[in-house]
Structure formats: structure tokens, C-alpha cells
Amino acid sequence: MLKLNHKKFFSFFIVLFILVTSSFLFNTNSVKTQSSPITNIERGFDYKIIQYANGTYVWMPMPFAVYNFANNSWCDYIFTETKDYIEARNAYITVRIYDGYAQFLDPNATEVRVYMEQWMVQQYQNNKWKDVIGTYSTLISKTVITNSSGIFITKTWSSWAGNLTVIYILKIGRPLKHTVIFTSTSISGKVRFIQSWSGVQANKMKYKKAIDQTWNETTNLSSATLSQSLYFQFEDNSGKL
């Protein structure tokens, strides 16, 4: 029968534990040092090159970037605020947000694509829809948050019917997203949201109700084209957005 000397076994276990623990701590520190970049070496349209503390250069894919002509470099996004509007730019779009409406331009902010975007809330009464509040109403608050994810602009308007809040969400390398909230203070019943685009600089519109569907197409846009789809895009005759 095998007998173990408990004192020797205990001593061996302590030594082994110390060796394993020391090795683990050493490896952890080594990994931690390598995972701490010294600096960003280069940002491209869809990549970034960084240098680690041990001198290693690493290329990594990144979300699409927007070009900043002011300093000739690629950026995750560009944020500008003037006395008239707030401007947010990323690889997909430039959004200029005024007090009563928003304007959409190309990513380089050189071509207007939609001259005016407005949101309205309508109430169904007497067999027809009627506006009760919109982004043309009285602006009561504005907040802007910029962080490593993107730009988040929140505006709230007020009327006799309640408050309308629109959050413009422009994340890095992602299309513009809206979150729209209506808080009623004096009405009830059936209501709906309307997003109105005026001055669309396009000849045709593609649209679909689900992301996995094929595009439908409407040519020769009229002054009052109505779309009830969830996904859509505008193009000129050459297919340019």
C-alpha cells in the first residue's frame, strides 16, 4: 500500500502552487502589456493600425470612417455646432439639425440630398387625421452626447397636446437612426407618427418592408410620393445615392 508523508506532500503542494501561481501571474502581466496599445498609428476608411507596448504593429478591421478635410485624416465621426444648427457626419450621411427640421447631405457635406425632414404626430378625429404637434412646434429642450459609439442628439418640442421627442442616433459606420416619442398631456384615442421629407434630390426611390426582401422601385418621384415601407433609399438616374 502506498503511503504518503503528509508533511512532504503538503510542502510539495505549496511549492507547486507557488510555481503555478507565479507562472499564471507572469503570463497575465505579459498579455496585459501586449494588449495595451501605445498609440494609434493609422486610421483608414475601414481599418486601423496600432502599436503595442512590445513594439508589435497590428492591423485590425474597423467600421467605415468619414474623411475630415480640415486635417486630411479619416475619422469615426465629425461633430460641429453653430448658432444655427448641429451637424453630425459619418461614413453614410451628414445630418444638419435645425430647431424645426433636419437636413440630409452626402458624407462630405457638399451635396444636399433632402432639404427638409420633419416629424409630426396626428390624431384621428372626425374621420380624418389632424396634426397635434410637430418639430415645427415650440422647442423646449436640446441635449447632445458624443462618445466612443457615436453622436446622440435629443430634441423635445411642446404643444397643447403634449411633448414630442426625437433622438437622432448616428453611430460609427452606421446609417442614421431615429427614436421618436410622443407624451400626451391632453388627448387620447388613435394617433400616428408622420415623417415628412421635402426637397428630395432624387429621381427614383427603392423600398421594401423587410430587410431580406428584394427592392421595389418607384421612378419619377412626384411632389407627394407616399411610402409605408420600413427600408428605402433614393437614387438619381445613374444609380447614385
Q: Is the pLDDT score of 135 beyond 90?
A: yes
Domain spans in the chain, listed from the N-terminal domain onward:
36-64, 76-201, 202-241
Using one digit for the tens of pLDDT, what is the confidence trace for 67-80?
999 999 999 999 99
Three cell numbers at 78?
Answer: 465629425
Q: Is the pLDDT score of 133 beyond 70?
A: yes
Distances (CA, A) of 204 to 36, 182, 200, 232: 49, 31, 10, 11
132-136, 164-168, 190-194, 231-235, range with the lowest pLDDT: 231-235
97-101 — which CB contacts under 8 Å span 24+ positions?
Answer: 97/153, 97/155, 97/168, 99/139, 99/155, 100/135, 100/136, 100/139, 101/135, 101/136
Give the CA angle between residues 215, 220, 223 to the nearest 5°. 110
Using one digit for the tens of pLDDT, what is the confidence trace for 34-89?
456 578 889 999 999 998 888 899 999 999 999 999 999 999 999 999 999 999 99
| Helix (H), strand (E), coil (C) string for the chain | CCCCCHHHHHHHHHHHHHHHHHHHHHHHHHHHHHCCEEEEEEECCCEEEEEECCCCEEEEECCCCEEECCCCEEECCEEEECCCCEEEECCCCEEEECCCCEEEECCCCCCEEEEEEEEEEEEEECCEEEEEEECCCEEEEEEEEECCCEEEEEEEEEECCEEEEEEEEEECCCCCEEEEEEEECCCCCCEEEEEEEEEECCCEEEEECCCCCCCEEEECCCCCCCCCCCEEEEECCCCCC
Residue range 4-21: mean pLDDT, rounded:
40
Q: In what order do the strands lie in the sheet with 57-61?
A: 37-43, 47-52, 57-61
